[in-house]
A and B are shown apart, each in its own frame.
Chain A
Amino acid sequence: MSTAPHIATEAPEFPKEHYLNASKGFKSWALTVDHKRIGLMYLVSALTFFLVGGLFALLVRLELFLPGGQFFDQKTYNQLFTLHGVVMVFLFIIPAIPAALGNFFLPLQLGAKDVAFPKLNLMSFYIYAIGAIIAIAAMVVGAVDTGWTFYTPYSLTTNTAVVGTVFAAFVLGFSSILTGVNFIVTIHKLRPPGMTWFRMPLFLWALYSTSVIQLLSTPVLAITLLLLIAERLLGVGVFDPALGGDPVLFQHFFWFYSHPAVYIMIVPAFGVISEIIATFSRREVFGYKFVALSSVAIAVIGFFVWGHHMFVSGQSEFAGMVFSFLTFFVAIPTAVKIFNWTATLYKGDIQLRTPMVYALIFLVQFTIGGLTGLPLGALGTNVALHDTYYVVAHFHYVMMGGVVFAFVGGLHYWWPKITGRMYNEKIGTFAALTLFLGFNITFFTQFLLGFKGMPRRYYDFDQNFAGLHGFSSVGSWILGIGFLIALYCFIQSLRNGPIASKNPWGGTTLEWTTQSPPIAHNFVDTPTVTTDPYDHENSPALTGRVA
């Protein structure tokens, strides 16, 4: 039971000075070094690309609503699912939580006035913007049709803008790397007095682990893409069988990044869920140290398993067996988190606000996603399920049912701090439930499609699959509506939302000690930390006593 003092949700008036009005004009945003403004710019960009990627998805599902080709020819269909993947992976999901929410809240939760390298942070954003522009240009000039995985030899011979798209991904990777450097050095060097490693909020442990993964994996993607470009332009010969090269080598190079990449996507989401569950159960997270270290464990083990994407590629069976065996280990730290969150909820003082609704949905959907990864990780069953809709359903459950729901939940959670306004709970929760309905109709159906043998990336299908495909497409429309409702919820808040107090949810971490929205330098004085991050009795965010 909570003994915390009553926390005011709303405030009588908006703060006079804050980071949004600290300086005005286009240049003050274009040349800002304030991590909060940079985070906001990333947020707007990421959400825009989510919309673009989502539109591609709706077009894909539109074509699949009925058997036969109604709207697009085969090549266009290939381009649509490729662009859906490229935009969602490189322009939305990899930056979303770390660059948008992470940039905004890492210094605030840490107790620092900014990240270690503010100018580098701005440069990261511009590199991201340039990468995005190159990607869009490539899409317009000759949208790629290889799938987001760019497998050779087709990516070497297809007459589309492979070089442009792949170069865009290369540039975006640098943005990712520089953000990772910034986050790691900030956590090492800018912790305030009293902020020991095990007093850091779990979101920071997650961001640290994510940054480690980003730094170790993205360079291998960089060289893979450079080699692909060189292969196309110069004929190097590493990936092209006609030149003595090996397409399976391309897959090794590609998946060494792309498997850890999925942990770049999910680990920050885990951090967000920890924060939401702690705050809305009014309790410390059960087994805090285990949850913190499990993020690090996932970061490390995630590097040993990339070959599970290649079981049927022609890879050696021995390598396949080793990768399959190791894949099962990566589930263990993840399971630790799920159990610990559940234990946190048990007998907690549950506040069923919108962020908590998203977090609870996450627990269900991510668990399904995670468990369905196991038949895919097992060598034998993978042979039947590889390249079917089972895989598509699995990764949408973890990436969308997991990451996206955590991202939107986190956005609701931190919305009062970012904007200084509350949103309407009824609209927020309604959107969450609509999304839950739409998501499961769309994607649970696809597990069944996969079991029945429906291959992925197929433009057309037999009449036997028509019912399930049609049902899944209807689900995608419900999803679309759900996102529109969520968008409306946020817009309505900006126009008319009640003014938020410093700590509307009764959170315990340092960002809740600042005004909503925060001042440009975050804290008037650097805080001294004396309490554990989820101490619901003594946290300065609740007692008002900033040490």
Chain B
Amino acid sequence: MSQQVAVSPDKVIRHRVGHHWPHVELELSGAKLGFWIFLCTELLMFGGLFVAYTYFRSLYPETFSEAHKTLSIPLGTLNTGVLIVSSFTVVMAIRSAMLNQRKAMLGYLYATLLLAAAFMVIKLGFEWPPKFAKGTLPAAFYTYDGLAHVPKPHLFYGLYFVMTGLHGLHVVIGMGLISWLIYLGHKGVLYRGYYTPIEIVGLYWHFVDLIWIYLLPLFYLAG
């Protein structure tokens, strides 16, 4: 049964809480509370961008409904699938840690890292270069002719690049954090008795997934 806790692996470094924490439960719940509060700030930061998006979409509806057609729905959907599966693999990594299944934990972490890399490759290797070639870019670099029939087409791309760019930056930061988890995992720090770092990075990673869940319909699909 996969619910059975494996024997504690040999090369585990037994966890001791910081001197100011009375109990490891407080350390875990404190870390989680702290990170949910931080996510609240990230929500407001990205939220501001969504407000700007709504503002300009209501000002220039035709621009948005025409310009979004230049985005690739298959690639956007593929990237959505990539992120959703990577959220799943992070959760499974935590589960494996709780069950002392170190190999599975590391496997899931590597999978998450690979999926994150795939997301960036799809975006930077396949989605963005055609845009640079066509000239569908923010105003300072905009040279596309095909949208001359709608007002201010560069606005759509300005918002697109800022929002997906900021999101992409968060993916890259996430890759760094997952790599750190892999390092901790190999070192033997993460096991049933202590998996707080995976919980926290997991929360971050799910949030990155959440933002993309909203970016997909707003930029690629909404007409």
The verdict on A215 contacting B37 (CB below 8 Å), with A223-B48, A249-B52 known, is: yes
Residues of A within 8 A of B40 (CB): 215-216
Within 171-209 of B, Cβ neighbours of A (below 8 Å) are at none
> Would A235 and B140 be within 8 Å (CB), given that A116-B30, A216-B40, A244-B60 are in contact?
yes
- When A190-B20, A237-B139 are in contact, do A220 and B44 touch as well, CB less than 8 Å? yes
List of B residues within 8 angstroms of A180 by Cβ: 37
* Cβ-defined contact, B45 with A220, below 8 A: yes
Please give the distance in Å from A138's CB to the nearest CB on chain B.
Answer: 21
Q: Which of B52, B55, B140, B142 contacts A233 (CB 8 A)?
A: B140
Contacts of B140 in A (CB 8 A): 233-235
Is residue A247 contacting chain B, with contact meaning CB distance below 8 A? no
Whether A189 lies near B45 (C-beta < 8 A) is no
Query: Is A20 located at the chain interface by the 8 A CB criterion?
Result: no
Interface mask (B146-172 → A, CB under 8 Å = 1, otherwise 0): 000001101100110110001000000
Q: Which residues of B contact A185 (CB under 8 A)?
A: 30, 33-34, 37
Q: Is the CB of B34 within 8 A of A220?
A: no
- A227 / chain B contacts, CB cutoff of 8 Å: 48-49, 52, 162
Q: List which B29-64 residues lie within 8 A (CB) of chain A.
A: 29-31, 33-34, 37-38, 40-46, 48-49, 52, 55-56, 59-60
**Is A52's beta carbon under 8 Å from chain B?**
no
- Total of A-B residue pairs, C-beta within 8 Å: 129
A304 at the binding interface (Cβ < 8 Å): no
| A161 interface hit (Cβ, 8 Å) | no
Residues of A within 8 Å of B43, CB to CB, are 219
Residue among B55, B60, B140, B142 with max Cβ neighbours from chain A (10 Å):
B140
Determine which of A188, A234, A238 lies in contact with B56 in the assembled complex, contact meaning CB atoms within 8 Å.
A238
Interface class of chain B by DSSP: helix
A244 — nearest CB in chain B belongs to which residue? B152
Flag A509-524 by CB within 8 Å of B: 1 or 0 each. 0000000000001000
B19 sits at the interface (CB 8 A): yes
Cβ 8 A contact of B159, one of A107, A116, A223, A238 = A238
- Chain B residues whose C-beta falls within 8 Å of the C-beta of A216 in the assembled complex: 40-41, 44
Interchain CA distance A184-B37 in the complex, whole Å: 9
Say whether, besides A219-B41, A219-B42, A220-B45, A237 and B154 are in contact (CB < 8 Å): yes
Indicate if A279 sits at the interface (CB-CB under 8 A).
no
Question: A224-B48, A243-B154 are known contacts. Are A249 and B37 too (CB-CB below 8 A)?
Answer: no
Tell me how far the C-beta of A290 lies from the nearest C-beta in chain B, rounded to whole angstroms: 26
From B20, B42, B158, B161, residue with most partner A Cβ within 10 Å: B20
Q: Does B124 contact A (CB under 8 A)?
A: no
Total count of chain A residues near the partner, CB < 8 A: 44
Determine the residue in chain A with the shortest Cβ distance to B55. A249
Contacts of B30 in A (CB 8 A): 116-117, 185, 188-190
Confirm or deny: A321 has a beta carbon within 8 angstroms of a beta carbon on chain B: no
Q: A84 to nearest B CB, angstroms? A: 28
- Name the one of A113, A116, A177 contacting B38, with C-beta atoms under 8 angstroms: A177
**Cα of A181 to Cα of B39 in the assembled complex, Å:** 10
Residue B74 CB within 8 A of the other chain: no
Contact of B141 with A by CB under 8 A: yes
Contacts of B107 in A (CB 8 A): none
Query: How many angstroms from the CA of A533 to the CA of B154 in the assembled complex?
Result: 59
Distance A118 CA – B21 CA, assembled complex (angstroms): 11
Q: Nearest Cβ in chain B — how far from A390, in angstroms?
A: 31
- Evaluate contact between A189 and B33: CB separation under 8 angstroms: yes
> Chain B contacts of A116 at CB under 8 A?
20, 30, 34
Q: Tell me the residues in window 227-271 of chain A with beta carbons closer than 8 Å to chain B beta carbons.
A: 227, 230, 233-238, 243-246, 249, 253
Q: Is the CB of B162 within 8 A of A244?
A: no
Instruction: Determine if A59 is an interface residue (Cβ-Cβ < 8 Å).
Output: no
Query: A234 near B141 (CB under 8 angstroms)?
Result: yes
Instruction: Write out the residue numbers on chain B whose beta carbons fall within 8 Å of the beta carbon of A112.
Output: 20
Contact present for B55 and A246 (CB under 8 Å): yes
What does the 1/0 interface line of A172-209 toward B look like (CB < 8 Å)? Answer: 00000110111011001110000000000000000000
Which B residues are CB-close (under 8 A) to A526? 22
Q: Is B138 on the interface with A (CB-CB < 8 A)?
A: yes
- 19 additional A-B residue pairs with CB within 8 Å, beyond A107-B20, A216-B41, A244-B56: A116-B34, A117-B34, A177-B38, A180-B37, A181-B34, A185-B30, A185-B37, A188-B30, A215-B37, A215-B41, A216-B40, A219-B44, A223-B45, A223-B49, A234-B140, A236-B155, A237-B56, A238-B155, A245-B155
